[in-house]
């Protein structure tokens, strides 16, 4: 079972203001798919993750399995667990390929 | 429960 871990060379932070904007927008029923809430800097290039991406990233501490992360988020969002698990696995695999995560 | 959107990377740009 994978326990994804963030690459230690990546500088990142949660943009608290953006994250709270995203949460407010969700409360208002708006879509926050495009709103960046976590900034990553890797090899001089800046990237952003959207709300759910950032929540997955935060939880990639090398101790939690993908299942643990899915369980955590399934309680927060209105989504079928199977759909969420599939999306999270695709996202994590993408980041593993980019080298942003390692399999801890 | 919050409305769900897929986790993804949005936008990448050079810092310098």
Please check the confidence at residue A57 and state whether its pLDDT lies above 80.
yes
Do A47 and B15 lie within an 8 Å CB cutoff? no
Residue A54: the pLDDT is 98
pLDDT tens digit sequence for B1-16: 788 998 989 877 776 5
As a whole number, the mean pLDDT across chain A is: 92
pLDDT (0 to 100) of residue B12: 75
Greater pLDDT, A86 or A1: A86
Whether residue A84 is predicted with pLDDT greater than 90 in this model: the reply is yes
Chain A residues with beta carbon closer than 8 angstroms to that of B1: 76-78
Domains and CATH numbers, chain A: 4-99 (1.10.10)
For residue A53, give the chain B residue with the closest CA.
B7
- Which positions in chain B touch A77 (Cβ < 8 Å)? 1-4
CB contact under 8 A, B3 and A41: no
- The larger pLDDT score, comparing residue B3 to residue A100, is at A100
Which H/E stretch holds residue A98? helix A81-98
């Amino acid at each position: 079972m994978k326990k994804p871990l963030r690459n230690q060379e990546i500088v990142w932070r949660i943009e608290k203001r953006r994250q709270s904007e995203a949460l407010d927008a969700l409360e208002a029923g708006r879509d926050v798919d495009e709103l960046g809430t976590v900034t990553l800097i890797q090899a001089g290039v800046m990237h952003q993750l959207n709300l759910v991406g950032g929540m997955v990233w935060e939880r990639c501490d090398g101790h939690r399995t993908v299942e643990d992360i899915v369980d955590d988020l399934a309680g927060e969002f209105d989504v079928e667990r199977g759909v969420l698990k599939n999306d999270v696995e695709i996202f994590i695999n993408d980041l593993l390929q980019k080298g942003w995560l390692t399999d801890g | 429960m919050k409305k769900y959107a897929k986790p993804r990377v949005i936008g990448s740009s050079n810092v310098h």
